[in-house]
Amino acid sequence: MTSIVRLLGIVVLSASAGCGGSNPHPADGGDGDGCADADGGGGSEGGDGGLALRIPAQTTLCNTNYESPSLEILFPKIRLHLKAGDFSLRASAGETALDLLDRVEVGQAGQEAAAAGPGRLRLDVYQEPPHPAYCAYDYLQPYRLGTQTLEIRFAFWLVCREAGVVSFPADVTLLLPHYRCGDRASFTTGAVNATAQNGDTVRFEYFFGDACATLPPFSAGICPANHGDPSLGRFTRGGDVREVTNYFGLALSCMHHGGPAFFVMMFDTPLGDVHGVSLDTVSYQPARLQYLDVAMQVQSSSDIASISFE
């Protein structure tokens, strides 16, 4: 757990894809840079408190892994539990003190972090005719896990308005890498099946973003971090089976110019000395199945004899 806390201390969990990323702003003036061509100063004027953000009960957001064929992809996993209710939104550019988070779970074990300060919601307004004005909201709040401080952040945008009720997340566009936990509606699904030379088998079912093409072959598209997640992992050794569906016990990594290529599952109940496995289709040829101890250290491995993608 020490290594998990140490890594989390340097991770900033940001939802903003940035200019030129996989989420070009809808107000891009057509110059192809993926950014809103605006000075951020125009747009709607503030109303009389008539604009509200409505968050339904049990709304959660997830932030998963990043581009790395490494066992560290499980460490920065996070699940944000949002408060339910109606919250006043500003309609003009600026920042408002606002607490939207009810609970934050982090890391392989889903440890609960503690709020280290108030939340704040910043609004930047982008306007370039003939496009409508777009309101980009960015939520930030400091949290603490042990002695380490984390900056929890998520962002969304919508067409600016001065009044009415905006349902979250149904009426907004979330900026990846944050997305609704377990929501596959905006993703493509896939699966990988592999048999090791020692006879053990593994299967991962997963969902991933459109820019993250399935393997093989590699695609030419960019695959930003956090564009998907496994929904199931199954390991079989003889008559023994370990199946994992726990969000914090599963992770995948998308390669920069391809699709999901590195998978990890940590068992709820160990199988002898084996507490989990990883399937690496990138670092080794042939691909390799690695056996992990309770600290996620590789104890042994077996080359893959056959592998297929669905």
DSSP string, 83-117: PPEEEE--SSSEEEE---EEEEEETTTTEEEEE-S
Q: Please tell me the pTM assigned to this model.
A: 0.69
| Residue 98 identity | L
The domain boundary residue, chosen from 150, 180, 210: 180
pLDDT of residue 15: 31
The token duo for 121 is 């919601």
Asked if 8 and 143 count as a contact pair (C-beta separation under 8 A), the reply is no
Indicate if 9 and 154 belong to the same structural domain.
Answer: yes
Indicate if 56 and 193 belong to the same structural domain.
Answer: no
Indicate if 267 and 174 belong to the same structural domain.
Answer: no
The domain boundary residue, chosen from 180, 205, 240: 180
Indicate if 167 and 193 belong to the same structural domain.
Answer: no
Indicate if 12 and 151 belong to the same structural domain.
Answer: yes
CA gap 215, 260 in Å, rounded = 7
pLDDT of residue 269: 95
Indicate if 18 and 161 belong to the same structural domain.
Answer: yes
Indicate if 99 and 28 belong to the same structural domain.
Answer: yes
pLDDT of residue 224: 35
DSSP 3-state assignment of 28? coil
The token duo for 295 is 């600290």
| pLDDT digit string, tens, across residues 41-89 | 333 333 345 899 999 999 888 765 555 666 766 666 788 899 999 999 9
Indicate if 166 and 223 belong to the same structural domain.
Answer: no
The token duo for 39 is 């000075």
What HEC string does 145-206 produce? ECCEEEEEEEEEEEECCCCEEEECCCCCEECCCCEECCCCCCCEEEEEEEEECCCCEEEEEE
Which residues lie across from 96 on neighbouring strands?
A: 121
Task: Print the domain residue range for 67.
Answer: 2-180
Indicate if 152 and 13 belong to the same structural domain.
Answer: yes
What phi, psi does 257 have (nearest 5°)? Answer: -120, 35
Indicate if 176 and 239 belong to the same structural domain.
Answer: no
Q: Which residues contact 165 (CB under 8 A, 6 or more apart)?
A: 52, 53, 54, 86
Indicate if 120 and 263 belong to the same structural domain.
Answer: no
The domain boundary residue, chosen from 180, 209, 225: 180
State which residues of the chain have pLDDT below 50.
Answer: 1-48, 210-226
pLDDT of residue 207: 75
Indicate if 146 and 222 belong to the same structural domain.
Answer: no
Number of domains in the chain: 2
265 Cα distance to chain centroid: 17
Distances (CA, A) of 236 to 64, 194, 239: 25, 11, 7
What is the separation, in whole angstroms, between the first and last Cα of the chain? Answer: 35
Q: Which residues contact 173 (CB under 8 A, 6 or more apart)?
A: 156, 157, 158
